[in-house]
Chains A and B, each alone.
Chain A
Amino acid sequence: MRNLRVLKVWRDVRLHGARTALVIVAIAIGIAGAGSVLDTWALLRRVTVEGFLGTNPPSATLRMDAVTAPVLAAVRAMPELRAAESRRTVMGTVTSDSTARTAMLFVSADIATHTIGRVAGDSGTWPPPDRAFVIEHSSANFANVHPGGTVSLRLGEGAPLMLPVTGMARDGTLPPGWMEHVVYGFVTPATIVALGGDSTPNELRIVVREHADDRDAIRRVAARVRVVAEGAGARVRDVVVPVPGRHEHQAQMDSLLYTQGAFGLLLLLLSGFLVVNLVTGMLAGQQREIGIMKTLGASPEQLTVMYLGLSLGLGLVACIVAIPLAAVIGRAYAQFSASMLNFEVGATPIPRWSFAVQLVAGALLPVLAALVPVRRGCAVSVSESLRDTGLGSAPATAAGRLFGASGLARPLLLSLRNAFRKRERMVLTLLTLATGGAVFLGALNLRASIRDSVSTLYEDELRYQLSVRFEQRHEGAALVALAMSEPGVEHAEAWSGARAAVVGDDSLPRSAFVVTALPADTRLVSFPASAGRWLAASDSEGMVVTPRLLEDEPALQLGARVQLLIAGKARTWRVVGIVGAGPSAGAYVTRGALARATGDSSAGAVALRLTPMSAAAQADFIQRIRARYEAANLLVSSTNLVQAGRGALEDHLLMVASFLGLMSQLMIIVGGLGLASTMSLGVLERTREIGVLRAIGARHGAILTMIQVEGLVVTLLGWALAIPLSLPMSVILERAFARIMFEVPVTLVPDAFGVVAWLGVVLVVSFVACLWPALRAMRITTAAALAYE
């Protein structure tokens, strides 16, 4: 009758309800923490992969001067292609709330019927009517443009048009507008014409028929499409072949989730420590009963099954709480993360396998954690089990001897020695607290590093406040001279830029990236070189690249000589440096070098360092400088205040640190629960000893102090241990962050505020965790304690 054993276990659980609840909470926190990361990951994978692939993303995009009907027909006739579609992409300026922002407009008469890179209507009207604007979802909040409102839209220096925002749509193939600082919008060709623009398509998007997941195969097809298009009269500017089936920011998101997943697992492991402590304590309390059951014929295997079954049951109960909680947190976090990638989680169900993994982990974690203590507890001999007197023995330790020789007061001495009596239990509690503290301090260090890096980027490296882009390219000196004549400009430089693509081993161009050309002696940027050097005037073929570009194009190693296709001309360039320039992927060359490569020495933008002025004065200045250029017939396409992107970038980056901070808080809670359980078990095991202390005159205050000091000793040790542990933790976090976002300086010295804050946290944790055990110890009466079995 197996039920009798189940009955015994069940009644034991009810008898020690508080302790059981503690175990369940500990496992639930671990499962909820790790499970929410798993749910987020599973949902994001499903949403991004299915969502991205669901748009039928283009295998390649060819940018041309004009995709005419004969060009489109010729390309569509190619048997290698499953589909080919055209649209116009044009840059403009959107003004809302008196703020002008760069806009990228997608123009097509039949955009709603496009099958490549399908755009889905989100709210309001879709497709856009004539003389109306449909905002892309990822730009709406950033630009504060929502259906029902109006925007002022203009192309170049054409007359602005006030357009109603009639709807919102979602394009899952785009990197999020808020991240790119671009307002994406959809308009009809008639609207573009009304704005004074050309509505001829300039972008050809194709989907290949075979080998759709082979980037090199797609490149070869794209090269043939280029030949066919050019044969039909088109002038192809560049060809972009993205990684097939992969969203542009997928790698970053994966890195982020893997890092978070690692901390989720760490949290689970720490919960496991707590379970080990609790099960060990529970078995210590059951030692005599185990001995009795052995005298009644219980085999170690039967006892092991009883207690492992109990652990399994506790894990399953914890799962009932944790799995739904993880689903709620995971869905919320997935929604947040998906919005970064411009996807909607909506009602997409969390995959069942994620729940199954959590259930298995939640059920097995306590079983695995309990395995050793259960085996050990059940292996104790009957005579040893029955010999227990209730007065614990304290093995002599070096710490104990040290305290003994310290001349401390006896009650304090007792607390200190008690803290070291159950060393294994104390070590696990200490490790849990210290790990939580190390992540806490590491997350604070990472936060400080991110802030420093963003400050460095915006205050030291980007030494200009405003950039002005022009509709056409102009002679650089004229642009600079005009800017310098405007009051408020300290320094001005003419910059130019181009799209470049590495020519691969197969002689085909890879994906295009932006090359910015600036004076070799630029005073407006100062990017630190992590390898090699910055540009010199003599660098006729030298270029520097950012680490993010190096990730995308591994061929651009320091010292490498690579063929770059710029403006249709292939030329050899040499990588002379790798510079940290924030999270963007790009390259820098001197204006002279670019002019030699393209045969065009004109500039398309000026960067301006302004005298210190208020935000309002900067807004006035922008109006003045635009008017000044336009008066000189130099048409401005957009202006961009460098600081405008700072807040968004900082918030975006700090979000990662915030998540780690949340994980550290959960770890500290688990540590606190561990301490509470350790202290509760200590009180339970020393009931008789406490009774003896009472019998010899210990009052409530003395008992309370003894327990609180004991807890304080453990937490202060945890506090101290976390400080050195935070150093490798900071390195790990900052390296992980570098993989996800961009290189930040490693902060090895713990922040003084963080150390003090951590001390505050441990004091609170210690007090709260020891309160219940201390009150329980105070309630022990001498008579009851001495009768305790």
Chain B
Amino acid sequence: MTAAAPQPLITLRDAVRTFPTAAGTFTALDGVSLSIARGAFAVVIGQSGSGKSTLLSLLSGVDRPTRGDVVVGDTAVHALPERAITAWRGRNVGIVFQFFQLLPTLTAAENVMLPMDFCDRWPGAERRARAMVLLDRLGVADQADKLPATLSGGQQQRVAIARALANDPAVLLADEPTGNLDSKTAVQILDLFAALAREGQTVVMVTHDMAARNRATHTIALADGKVADDDHGRSHA
């Protein structure tokens, strides 16, 4: 049975997201309500089309619910105007993509420094040093001055995670971060997320990888846009 949940950082209340299609309205999320605790390592699993990525988009403010509430910390994300949402996201959310999405013309360190630059979060003179600390922590400091195209998939994903952490966000959202990596590197990335969560970082990861459940503190299973299972059962190992 689930343990008593700590104070939630993320709350969804009756969130619905529909898309108009040629065949009619498609409901990607259908009345989803859930909460994720601060410092949790939550994985969202489900079949293709179950609504996992849509859920992540709502949490990051990249997309808005058709109906319902999305609250992260004290912020009602669903109600933020577009202009404010960008600034909020830059400071409070780090996003890791399946295909890394590093900017190809910037070096690894420059990619990490870019969010700091946009959000003006750290003094200009300190940004490079902070980027190097993050890259070092992720084991790719020696790749700092290389362009993404010269890095392996695993190295690119580590740089992408460092970039997501650049502004010290409250939430780290990862969309299939291991989907494009070999199994050994995938395990390393999962270990990394688990470690981050243990240090107090809230991590929400969408994945097909059932093995991820073993490292997560919170598992949310989606099916046809609805929460099929919401297990807060594990504590940090």
Contact = CB atoms under 8 A, between A and B. Distances in A.
B91 A383 contact: no
Contacts of B101: 288, 292, 386
Q: Count chain B CB atoms within 10 A of each CB in A14, A297, A299, A386 and give the residue with the most.
A: A297
Interface in B79-95: 83, 86-87, 89-91, 95
Contact of A2 (B104, B110, B117): B117
Interface stretch (A5-13, A245-253, A479-487): A5-13
A696 interface: no
A784 to B, nearest CB: 13
B106 A295 contact: no
A383 B54 CA distance: 10
Interface string A668-707: 0000000000000000000000000000000000000000
Contacts of A382: 62-63
A295 B105 contact: no
A293 to B, nearest CB: 7
Interface string A372-412: 00000000011100100000000000000000000000000
A302 interface: yes
Interface of B: 57, 60, 62-63, 83, 86-87, 89-91, 95, 97, 99, 101, 103-106, 110, 113-119, 124, 127, 163, 166-167
B119 to A, nearest CB: 4
Contacts of A289: 103
Nearest to B175: A386
A8 B99 contact: no
Contact of A4 (B62, B89, B97, B117): B117
B86 A383 contact: no
B63 A302 contact: no
A102 to B, nearest CB: 73
9 contacts: A1-B117, A8-B106, A14-B105, A288-B101, A289-B103, A292-B101, A302-B118, A381-B63, A386-B101
B86 A4 contact: no
Contacts of B115: 296-297
B110 A4 contact: yes
A561 interface: no
Q: Count chain A CB atoms within 10 A of each CB in B99, B113, B114, B163 and give the residue with the most.
A: B114
A751 interface: no
Given A15-B104, A297-B115, 7 more contacts: A4-B114, A292-B101, A297-B89, A297-B90, A299-B83, A300-B86, A382-B62
Interface of A: 1-2, 4-5, 7-8, 11-12, 14-15, 288-289, 292-300, 302, 381-383, 386, 789
Given A386-B62, A789-B99, A297 B105 contact: no
Contacts of A12: 105
Q: Count chain A CB atoms within 10 A of each CB in B63, B103, B124, B163 and give the residue with the most.
A: B103
Contacts of A789: 99
Contact of B106 (A11, A299, A302): A11
A385 to B, nearest CB: 9
Given A288-B101, A297-B90, A383 B57 contact: yes
Nearest to A288: B101
B105 A294 contact: no
A293 B114 contact: yes
Contacts of B166: 296
B99 A1 contact: no
A12 B110 CA distance: 14
Contacts of A2: 117
Q: Which 6 A-B pairs have the closest CB atoms?
A: A297-B90, A11-B105, A296-B115, A1-B124, A297-B119, A297-B118
Given A4-B117, A7-B110, A297-B167, A292 B103 contact: yes
Contacts of A299: 83, 86-87, 118
Contacts of A11: 105-106
B105 A296 contact: no
Interface of B is mostly: helix
Contact of A383 (B62, B87, B116): B62
Contact of A297 (B62, B63, B87, B124): B87
A11 B87 CA distance: 26
Contacts of B167: 297
Given A1-B127, A297-B87, A8 B118 contact: no
A391 B119 CA distance: 33
Given A4-B113, A288-B101, A298 B118 contact: yes
Nearest to B86: A299
Contacts of B114: 4, 8, 293, 296
Given A4-B110, A11-B105, A382-B62, A294 B86 contact: yes
A383 B89 CA distance: 14
Contacts of B91: 297
Q: Count chain A CB atoms within 10 A of each CB in B86, B87, B106, B127 and give the residue with the most.
A: B86
B161 to A, nearest CB: 13
A291 to B, nearest CB: 8
Given A299-B118, A383-B63, A8 B86 contact: no
A2 B117 CA distance: 7
Contacts of B163: 296
A295 B89 contact: yes
B103 A8 contact: yes
A300 B83 contact: yes
Contacts of B97: 292, 386
Nearest to A5: B117
A524 B235 CA distance: 115
Nearest to B57: A383
Contacts of A5: 117
A376 B231 CA distance: 43
A382 B58 CA distance: 12
A2 B114 CA distance: 10
A260 to B, nearest CB: 43
Contacts of B113: 1, 4
Given A15-B105, A382-B62, A295 B95 contact: yes
Contacts of A297: 86-87, 89-91, 115, 118-119, 167
A293 B89 CA distance: 11
A295 B62 CA distance: 7
Contacts of A288: 101
Contacts of A383: 57, 62-63
Contact of A7 (B89, B106, B118): B106
B26 to A, nearest CB: 14
A581 to B, nearest CB: 68
A787 to B, nearest CB: 10
Nearest to A289: B103
A5 B110 CA distance: 10
B117 to A, nearest CB: 5
Contacts of A381: 62-63
B131 to A, nearest CB: 11
Contacts of A300: 83, 86
B160 to A, nearest CB: 10
A298 B89 CA distance: 9
B118 A296 contact: yes
Nearest to B116: A1
A283 to B, nearest CB: 15
Contacts of A302: 118
Contacts of B60: 295
A288 B104 CA distance: 11
B118 A293 contact: yes
B56 to A, nearest CB: 11
A12 B104 CA distance: 9
A313 to B, nearest CB: 16
B110 A296 contact: no
Nearest to B122: A1
B70 to A, nearest CB: 14
B233 to A, nearest CB: 31
A288 B116 CA distance: 20
Contacts of A15: 104-105
A298 B57 contact: no
Q: Count chain A CB atoms within 10 A of each CB in B115, B166, B167 and give the residue with the most.
A: B115
A12 B119 CA distance: 22
B115 to A, nearest CB: 4
